[in-house]
Structure 1
Amino acid sequence: MNQPGGSDNWNRRKLLLASATTATALGLGSGAATARTHRSVGRGDPFTLGIASGDPDSEGFVLWTRLAHEPLAEDGRGGMPDRAIDVEWEVAEDERFHRIVRRGTARALPEWGHSVHVELAGLRPGREYFYRFRGCGHLTPTGRTRTAPAAGTVRQPLTVCTASCAAWEHGFYTAYRRIAEEEPDLVLHLGDYIYELGHLQYPLLSGIARSVTGWQARTLAEYRRRYAEYKTDPDLRLAHRTAPWVVIWDDHELDNNWAGQHPELPQPEFDRRRADSFRAYYENMPLRAGNRPRGGDMRLYRRIRWGGLANFHMLDTRQYRDDQACGGLVGPCGAESAPERSITGERQEKWLLDGLRGSHARWDFLGQQVMFAHHDTLDGPLTMTNMDTWDGYTTSRRRITDGWLNAGVRNPVVLTGDIHEHYAADLKRDYADPDSPVVGTELVTTSVTSGGDAEEGEFTGDPDNPHIRFHSGMRGYLRTRIDAERLRADFRVLPYVSRRGAEASTKASFEVDDGVAGLREVAPS
């Protein structure tokens, strides 16, 4: 990986940012201007939703785009004709495409929203690549991606940025631009990429109003339009084409706090709505064909291997879970500890435990959605916990924790989103026992925008949750640097999201040493 400030980084950043500026100049920006200018492309540029790559392995990755002449067309078809369209793609070893290593043509089909998913194989491991698409007489900006290192490789360090929860109505996507400027090797998005709730249902907390699709998404056309609205943002598009993404959903890609076959509130045709949202999710994400939904079923849990350094076990804690205990309200009420309850479902739990037993990686990450550590949200002797998190599935949490302990996992780390706040926590097998040893680490990323601007309060420790080492309510993202000897987590924050241009700073930093369970606070960088 190039060192920050080097000429290669500088040239690449100028190239990527210049492309973003050009796209904005063409009327592909965000905010109120989007509502006025999205039709200005007419039948011209079909790449208004950007390009992306994802799910890398040691031989390749997925390339993605979705064609839309009119991204916010009310029928969800993006102003595209009802026929297949050929899209050319190229992959090169350099930004100028002097050393092209692969090229081909893919068909963008109307039944899949004119999305394109190209799966590359046979490339060299641990290498940086560049890609672009051409179609309808237009050429996309250049995207940067990479392959994972060869199996067993542990000496190639890894930088990962983790993001979650990007309510369009609550702020601008500056955090995505700051992620792009980090030039990470990998971006993990842990859910709530969109919000099905429009600004008429989701109150404006930040005092800005930039939505033109204000009603709740319930149909395929409405979900497609909501993704298109989000993807008109130049900062999001820049982050997508700067690094490969690994994505997983949470609840707002479908319905707030949905659980398995259960919507938050009773509603007709939930099965049809679920299938429509799954289809739109696949159409708009850099996923492999094996993740393509079949009606209301879509297997998203999967494993990304980064040489011998890291395994990322990406979990789906929505599709297979039992309904929330205690009527979906706060607990505990006793029902949350029923032994048969699961947040992952039996098949996914077995898949995870088998993967942990078979892992030879230096670091094993569980990429998932809701807080794993016990979290008492009520001050004083009484306890109050959130039934939508792992606190609502305590025996499920115990089985997973025992699973990595029994497997002898060298360095277990849980990566989490959802809660709109940064947390760093030591994980324990038994949170009721103060002498229970530390058995792992949880790193929770705050939201990109959800919750709007936030002033930082001072965190001086939480006597009700002594295992929680750090907390911040500001917006931002998590930057994690991983090598064979240690992991370093930098909690990056923005002073505001109600307008563009905020600079990112590090609020706190922690390290985890190889083979030593528990967080060690270090000077921020």
Structure 2
Amino acid sequence: MAELSSATLALVRGTTTSAGAIRFLHAGNHDGQGQLQAGSGVLVDPVADFTKLYLTQAATLHVHWGGPTAGVNENELDSVGGDTNAGVYEIVEVLGKSKLKISPLPKQTGSQTYSIGRQSYYRFKVANCEFFCCDTRTNREMHDTKHPEQPGLSMLGQRQKKWLLDGMKSSDADFLFVVSSVNFMVPHVGGGKVRTTNKDDAWTVFFDEREQLIREWDKLGKRVCVLTGDLHNSFVIKITDRVWEFASGPHNSNNHWASDEGGRPATGKFKYGPRECDIRWSTFFRTDIPRDQLQHPSYCVVQINNVFNNPKQVGDERWVAFERPQVIFQYFNGRTGRLRYAEALPAIK
């Protein structure tokens, strides 16, 4: 984690009244210590002023890893534990200037540095397209690859999920785009040095919440396009007639083998979990290719066709609206610029 800005450090220390600094609290390390007691849901920092904290903007509280290996990016350290209380906590309530009620309960009495993040999801609209950019890290609960179907397990958290679904239901856009930093239908279950036996950051370990979203999106009667990344391949997936996933990448990293992605096919039916989907196209690499030769970048260009030129004379312009606008996803070879695949979807009217 990076150091806090001076404005944020001053905020945590209670030495600023800047509404902007308070409202946009950044995650990171600071010099303060939180006092924790085993079995008690109260964090105490005598020099902080939590009454200046905007709970509507604040996200989760991180108790830091601690120790000499904190922040060291080495595979062999993945199984080495940090501070017993290190982890992510919900801020339940401000109990006063120096006290926060947190959940779950700390396991051990002691003192450790902590930081408070901010909510990082947002939406914006361009013409007849609305984009909902999700935060898939801040509020996620711990998954279990052996039990990805756990009911109630959430990646988004209840506040963000309500914001997402309410916003999409009220939108008057023809095309709804949901932006997720992790993939929706294809798992990441390998990839060179596997860092942990519980590895999979994607929606494929949050089946219950993923299915909730798909069902609600399918009811909207609109075209819903889920824009994803993380896996080092590109693919186009038809989830339902209305809901599609479009993944783009990688731009600079090596590709993954198909075995790193649940043994999926290059195209065709694929089922990982409760729902079958249709992979319309993908970049695909067999396991006999050396990993250092998996260097095939891709990129995607999205085009919206709302109008077409219908001139009375050659060279003139007269723009006419399509009765059914289209969104076109075009995938290109990152080295040559040649078109690899395109998928066009009309608006649902």
Question: Taking structure 1 as the reference length, what is the TM-score of the superposition?
Answer: 0.36
Closer, same or farther in 2 for the Cα pair 1:295/1:447, shift >3 Å? same
Closer, same or farther in 2 for the Cα pair 1:321/1:486, shift >3 Å? same
Which deviations, in whole Å up to 9, do the C-alpha atoms of 1:230-281 show, x marking residues without a partner? Answer: xxxxxxxxxxxxxxxxxxxxxxxx999xxxxxx9863348569xxxxxxxxx
Among 285, 306, 315, which residue is 2:126 paired with? 306
Gaps of 5+ in 2: 10-19, 21-27, 31-70, 89-113, 191-197, 258-264, 272-276, 285-295, 307-324
Indicate the residue corresponding to 2:175 in structure 1: 363
Quote the Cα distance in structure 1 between the aligned partners of 2:134 and 2:87: 22
Which deviations, in whole Å up to 9, do the C-alpha atoms of 1:169-198 show, x marking residues without a partner? Answer: xxxxxxxxxxxxxxxxxxxxxxxxxxxxxx
Among 490, 494, 508, which residue is 2:330 paired with? 490
Among 302, 308, 314, which residue is 1:480 paired with? 302
Which deviations, in whole Å up to 9, do the C-alpha atoms of 1:71-100 show, x marking residues without a partner? Answer: xxxx989xxxxxxxxxxxxxxxxxxxxxxx
Gaps of 5+ in 1: 1-74, 78-108, 114-118, 120-217, 221-253, 257-262, 273-293, 327-332, 379-384, 429-437, 496-502, 517-525
Aligned residues: 213
Closer, same or farther in 2 for the Cα pair 1:266/1:363, shift >3 Å? farther
Letter in 1 for 2:142: D
Indicate the residue corresponding to 2:204 in structure 1: 391
1:344 aligns with 2:177: no
Closer, same or farther in 2 for the Cα pair 1:325/1:377, shift >3 Å? closer
Structure 1 contact 461–470 (Cα < 8 Å) conserved: yes
- The SS at the match of 2:148 is helix
Quote the Cα distance in structure 1 between the aligned partners of 2:326 and 2:341: 17
1:417 aligns with 2:229: yes
Percent sequence identity over matched residues? 19
Indicate the residue corresponding to 1:444 in structure 2: 247
Quote the Cα distance in structure 1 between the aligned partners of 2:280 and 2:72: 32
Once the 2 structures are TM-superposed, how far is the Cα of residue 310 of structure 1 from its aligned partner? 0.8
1:39-188 paired onto structure 2 within 5 Å: 111=7
Quote the Cα distance in structure 1 between the aligned partners of 2:180 and 2:72: 17
Once the 2 structures are TM-superposed, how far is the Cα of residue 386 of structure 1 from its aligned partner? 6.9
- The SS at the match of 1:492 is strand
Structure 1 contact 365–413 (Cα < 8 Å) conserved: yes
Among 315, 320, 339, which residue is 1:506 paired with? 339
Quote the Cα distance in structure 2 between the aligned partners of 1:314 and 1:463: 28
Higher helix share: 1
Among 214, 217, 221, which residue is 1:404 paired with? 217
Quote the Cα distance in structure 2 between the aligned partners of 1:219 and 1:506: 45
Which deviations, in whole Å up to 9, do the C-alpha atoms of 1:481-516 show, x marking residues without a partner? Answer: 113310111112223xxxxxxx43322111111118
The answer to which structure, 1 or 2, has the higher relative contact order (CA under 8 A, 6+ apart) is 1
Structure 1 contact 478–490 (Cα < 8 Å) conserved: yes
Which deviations, in whole Å up to 9, do the C-alpha atoms of 1:271-301 show, x marking residues without a partner? Answer: 69xxxxxxxxxxxxxxxxxxxxx94222111
Which deviations, in whole Å up to 9, do the C-alpha atoms of 1:367-421 show, x marking residues without a partner? Answer: 111111255989xxxxxx9742111111101111122223x24111100010011
- The SS at the match of 1:404 is helix
Letter in 1 for 2:117: D
Quote the Cα distance in structure 1 between the aligned partners of 2:169 and 2:80: 39
Once the 2 structures are TM-superposed, how far is the Cα of residue 461 of structure 1 from its aligned partner? 2.4
Structure 2 contact 332–340 (Cα < 8 Å) conserved: yes
Quote the Cα distance in structure 1 between the aligned partners of 2:72 and 2:210: 24
Once the 2 structures are TM-superposed, how far is the Cα of residue 304 of structure 1 from its aligned partner? 0.9
Indicate the residue corresponding to 1:315 in structure 2: 134
Question: Taking structure 2 as the reference length, what is the TM-score of the superposition?
Answer: 0.52
Structure 1 contact 376–464 (Cα < 8 Å) conserved: no
Indicate the residue corresponding to 1:324 in structure 2: 143
Once the 2 structures are TM-superposed, how far is the Cα of residue 348 of structure 1 from its aligned partner? 0.6
Quote the Cα distance in structure 2 between the aligned partners of 1:366 and 1:478: 16
Once the 2 structures are TM-superposed, how far is the Cα of residue 468 of structure 1 from its aligned partner? 0.7
Among 434, 449, 467, which residue is 2:278 paired with? 467
Structure 1 contact 336–387 (Cα < 8 Å) conserved: no
Indicate the residue corresponding to 1:210 in structure 2: none
Closer, same or farther in 2 for the Cα pair 1:367/1:376, shift >3 Å? closer
Closer, same or farther in 2 for the Cα pair 1:354/1:363, shift >3 Å? same
Letter in 2 for 1:472: T
Quote the Cα distance in structure 1 between the aligned partners of 2:217 and 2:29: 40
Structure 1 contact 364–413 (Cα < 8 Å) conserved: yes
- The SS at the match of 1:507 is strand
Letter in 2 for 1:370: V
- The SS at the match of 1:341 is coil
Quote the Cα distance in structure 1 between the aligned partners of 2:172 and 2:280: 29
Quote the Cα distance in structure 2 between the aligned partners of 1:513 and 1:493: 25
Closer, same or farther in 2 for the Cα pair 1:76/1:439, shift >3 Å? closer
Closer, same or farther in 2 for the Cα pair 1:453/1:316, shift >3 Å? closer
Larger radius of gyration: 2
Quote the Cα distance in structure 1 between the aligned partners of 2:256 and 2:244: 28
Once the 2 structures are TM-superposed, how far is the Cα of residue 305 of structure 1 from its aligned partner? 1.3
Among 230, 234, 239, which residue is 1:427 paired with? 239
